[in-house]
Amino acid sequence: MIVVTGAAGFIGSCLVSRLNKAGYDDIVVVDDFSKTEKDGNLENKTLVAKVGRMDFIPWLKEFGNEVDFIYHIGARTDTTEFDVEIFNKLNLNYSKDVWNLCVTYNIPLVYASSAATYGLGENGYKDDHSIIEKLKPLNPYGDSKNDFDKWALKQIKENKENQPPFWAGLKFFNVYGPNEYHKGRMASVIFHAFHQINKTGGMKLFRSHNPDYTDGGQLRDFVYVKDVVEVCLYLKESSPASGLYNLGTGISRTFLDLTKNTFKSMEKEENISFIDTPEDIRDKYQYFTEADMTKLIDSGFDKGFHSLEEGVKDYVTNYLMEEKYY
């Protein structure tokens, strides 16, 4: 059996779909299934069982011998939440339990880390284990992801036997694509642009509050979710060296690029204006991210990534316009 946590969410549900396409039908999905707004993400997927998020650790203790692989994608991902205890419970400690049981039952593990761990990028965006202790995330979400990365590396340093037979922590950059209908404020800028353009005919972007960047010139490494799940499948089937891996495209693009491509894909005339960045996130706003993808590519991943133009067009025309799921 393959387990996917966070399976009713954005990346998790796309991963279940990709696994099905690759011929894997023995999938156990883990999530908080009380949130009905995510139900559409798992429609028409082939599964063998659903396990509630808070029931999963006891379930794994009972059925660990039957599990072949775990994708631990589930997490609290709200970057505007500042209750540290929520992140300690749902991200840090929960992930420790998953890791320890993977060690006990000899289960390979891929888990979701985040580019939020890099903070303002003072130490660059290279997935080098030697810089993890130096990183300064900008919010409790980023802290929780970095704290787990540090904890995992500490386990191995203290005892090389205290790790799954294969593991990878994926530092997701700005992921966008189908199945994010439920994410509200935390959905991608493309999702918000599409709906705002449909409703008002225009799109409002955050104004720059940094003199080094023009309005709309803020840069992000936008990565299409179809590429993300391709990497997840590669890690399962190829088992390269264990460790932390960046998962972006390696090319940063501006929010203006993204928005203009959304207008183009919708075949609508550009109408872009700017508003102040909300004060609750202004002083913790990343103006630049760009993944160093050397490690993953050198490990043997050779499928490449969608360009921003290709990804936006596919997302807008085949999913958002059709209100379809992946």
> What are the catalytic residues?
141, 183
* Residues, the chain: 326
Task: Please name every residue paired with 167 in a beta bridge, in sequence order, or none if there are none.
Answer: 109
Alpha helices in the chain (DSSP H): 10-21, 56-63, 84-87, 94-105, 140-158, 189-200, 225-238, 255-266, 279-282, 294-298, 308-315
At a CB cut-off of 8 Å and minimum separation 6, what does 154 contact?
A: none
Under 8 Å between Cβ of 100 and 59: no
At a CB cut-off of 8 Å and minimum separation 6, what does 159 contact?
A: none
Q: Which two tokens stand for residue 255?
A: 């929010």
Spatial separation of the C-alpha atoms in residues 305 and 282, rounded to whole Å: 30
